[in-house]
Amino acid sequence: MILRTPPPKKQRAEPILHESPSPQVASEGRLVIYEDNPLAAPPPESPHQPSDHLLCTYQCRQMVKADFIDALSNAEKQIRDYQSKLEILNENLSKAEVERKKFRDQFLYAEQELAAAKGREQMLHDQLLKEVNDSQERFKKQLETNNELKGKLQNELNLRKKAESSAASAEEKAADIEGKLTQFSQSIEREKKQLQNELSQLKGESKLSISRISADLERTEFRANSAEKESELLKEQLEDLKKQLNECLNQKSEVEKKMSSFTFQEVTSSESSILIKHLQEELRNYESEVREARKLKSSHEDIELLKAKLLEEKGRRERAESELSKLQEQQICLSNLEKELSLWKLIMKDIPGVSCPEDIPVKFATLQKEVIASTMKIGETNARLKQIEVGLDAAQLAKQNAEAEAALDKEKAEILKSEVKRIELMLSMVTEERNKLSNAINELKRHKNEEAGDEVASGTVVQELESSLAKKESCIKELERSLHEQKEINDRQHNEIKMLHDRLNNEARRIKSLDRETDRLRSEISLLESKLGHGDYSASNTKVLRMVNTLAVDNEAKQTIEALQTELQKTKEKLQALEELKSQSGDTGKLVDSYISEKITKLKEQIATLEKREERYKTVFADRISVFRRACCELFGYKANDYTAQPEISHQVDIFVRKLNSIPAFTANLTVESFNRRTLS
């Protein structure tokens, strides 16, 4: 081992003296006389050399005594000096011991502090480990909760999708059924209206026919009455004629009597013969007239009967025809209604839980309730989903926070590790210093044993110790300051990070809520646009009208006009017949004239109304036919007036339109022909 404090240099004169007293002191007052003897050079090594070598005379003895006494006194002085020095050294030693004790206490204190630091470090390490374990456990738990939440979310999403799909299918079904129901209800209403219109028309027609029949009946009655009256008149005429004839016969018989009486007188004059001839001629004329009257009367009666029969037959035929047409229409309507009924029944069979039409609104109400319930469920699932999403977001945030905390804890652990390393370094430094101190203490001890106390060396050692202590204290203080500052910085940074995290979380939540709202609004907008584009409408505010195909309307008007025209013709014929009858009946019809005139006025009024109706229908027909012609022109691009007069066009119409049923082919042919004509011309 290398000694720090070199052993003191050995002086030639003094070391022996220095060393000599000690052996003297050690030995029992043995006097050793110095001789300049090389053998005595290593006296310390052999202090017990025999005194047999030493020889002196009396003078020498006295001199030696004096010298010895001087030397003794000097030695005593030196001893005193040495004692004083020793005392000083002892004091110094005690001081050094005190200082050593101090240093030792300080060393122990440092050791204690080191142990405490180690303990603290261990505690911190344990705490860190605990925190890391806790954070890992928390992280694991949060991961588990996150996974559970994810699983729940997926389940909820699946449920939601299923519910949405079921709701969508139910809605579609309900919408389809609604649409069908509305269509059917509309068609039912339309058909009801049509049937009601037809019914009213039929009622009107039946009333008209009844009135016609009653009018016909009245006419026939009137005719019958008139015929009866005529027959009575004719009978009266006949009776008159008979009476006249009888009178003529009586006159003839009288004249014959007279003539017979006159024959006796034989005064026959030509005048009487002429008179007789005249009378005979008149008789004959009267007979012929009577015969003619009878013939006329019979013929007239026959004609009347035939006319009446003809009219009746015509009326019956018309009625039969109209009723046949009505029957056909009714049969068509009936077949249509039966088809629709069968369709409804099929649809009702398709709809589950519906056995009769009355069940349809109930079923519809149940379906609506189901739709409402499903929408409510969808809303609830949406709310739950949103809650789960919020929870998931919170879990993710917590996870992020935990991750951040774990990172922070890792950083802390690393910082603590670095601190531990630093402390270990410090510890190594301190141990080194301790070793130094222990070496110094050993050296001090050595110094103490050798009675050598180099004040400078101990002082330097003490100073070195003090300086090293001061340095260590300053280092410790600096380290503590830096630790404190770093702790403060870390705390500040932690707080800032926490604040930023909170702000970030709030902003993220706001952004997510806004995203959800935008998605909801976009879905609503898309739904509304789809409904708008689809053509949905509210029946309470809106009705749908369609531009009519004017052809059917014109046909109906034509038919009504034709029917009215035939009626008009019939009434005109009847009126003519009545007028003829009136002219034929002559004087005897005076009684009937009033009745006939009333009837005639009524008929004229009817004719006027019918004519007005005819004119109205004609104007309507003219308007509609013009619209129809315009539509035809717009559609096909051609205008044809009186096409039937042109044989070519009528031929083309027969071929393309009637046989092939293709109007575009007809128009194409017309364009090609017109083009050819123009190019050729």
* Residues near another protein, by CB under 8 A: 179, 183, 186, 190, 529-530, 532-537, 540-548, 550, 553, 627, 630, 633-637, 664, 667-668, 671
**Residue 589 has what DSSP assignment?**
G
| Least spacing, CB of residue 193 vs another protein, in Å | 9
| Least spacing, CB of residue 679 vs another protein, in Å | 16
- Cα angle 294, 300, 306; round to 5: 140
| Least spacing, CB of residue 389 vs another protein, in Å | 31
Give the CA radius of gyration of the chain.
77
d(CA 15, CA 535): 131
By beta-carbon proximity to another protein, the closer residue of 11 and 194 is 194
| Least spacing, CB of residue 676 vs another protein, in Å | 14
By beta-carbon proximity to another protein, the closer residue of 607 and 620 is 620
By beta-carbon proximity to another protein, the closer residue of 346 and 532 is 532
Distance between terminal CA atoms of the chain?
A: 144
d(CA 566, CA 559): 11
Tell how far CA 333 is from the center of its chain. Answer: 45
Contacts (Cβ under 8 Å, ≥6 apart) of 48: 27
d(CA 165, CA 586): 93
By beta-carbon proximity to another protein, the closer residue of 293 and 620 is 620
| Least spacing, CB of residue 553 vs another protein, in Å | 7
Q: Which residue has the tokens 């270990």?
A: 424
By beta-carbon proximity to another protein, the closer residue of 74 and 183 is 183
Burial of 200 (0-12, 13-18, 19+ CB in 10 A): exposed
Give backbone dihedrals phi and psi of 544, rounded to 5 degrees, phi first. -105, 125
| Least spacing, CB of residue 680 vs another protein, in Å | 19
Give the tokens for residue 258: 């007279």
By beta-carbon proximity to another protein, the closer residue of 342 and 526 is 526
d(CA 154, CA 143): 16
By beta-carbon proximity to another protein, the closer residue of 343 and 627 is 627
| Least spacing, CB of residue 187 vs another protein, in Å | 8
Tell how far CA 257 is from the center of its chain. Answer: 130
Contacts (Cβ under 8 Å, ≥6 apart) of 363: 351, 353, 354
CB 348 within 8 A of CB 360: yes
By beta-carbon proximity to another protein, the closer residue of 355 and 530 is 530
By beta-carbon proximity to another protein, the closer residue of 362 and 668 is 668
| Least spacing, CB of residue 642 vs another protein, in Å | 20
| Least spacing, CB of residue 544 vs another protein, in Å | 5
Cβ atoms < 10 Å from Cβ of 197:
10
| Least spacing, CB of residue 178 vs another protein, in Å | 12
d(CA 199, CA 333): 12
| Least spacing, CB of residue 372 vs another protein, in Å | 24
Cβ atoms < 10 Å from Cβ of 441:
19
By beta-carbon proximity to another protein, the closer residue of 326 and 629 is 629
By beta-carbon proximity to another protein, the closer residue of 34 and 636 is 636
| Least spacing, CB of residue 597 vs another protein, in Å | 40
Q: Which residue has the tokens 């379906």?
A: 367
Q: Which residue has the tokens 């003619």?
A: 292
* Amino acid found at 372: I
Contacts (Cβ under 8 Å, ≥6 apart) of 205: 322
| Least spacing, CB of residue 671 vs another protein, in Å | 5
| Least spacing, CB of residue 222 vs another protein, in Å | 42
Cβ atoms < 10 Å from Cβ of 225:
14
d(CA 364, CA 186): 16
Tell how far CA 492 is from the center of its chain. Answer: 48
Q: Of the candidates 303, 265, 258, which has an alpha carbon nearest to the alpha carbon of residue 279?
A: 258
**Residue 9 has what DSSP assignment?**
P
Q: Which residue has the tokens 């017309």?
A: 670
By beta-carbon proximity to another protein, the closer residue of 302 and 529 is 529
Element (H, E) at 373: helix 359-449
By beta-carbon proximity to another protein, the closer residue of 537 and 643 is 537
By beta-carbon proximity to another protein, the closer residue of 267 and 548 is 548
By beta-carbon proximity to another protein, the closer residue of 407 and 525 is 525
CA distances from 33 to 8, 28, 52, 55, 535 (A): 25, 15, 11, 10, 146
| Least spacing, CB of residue 172 vs another protein, in Å | 9
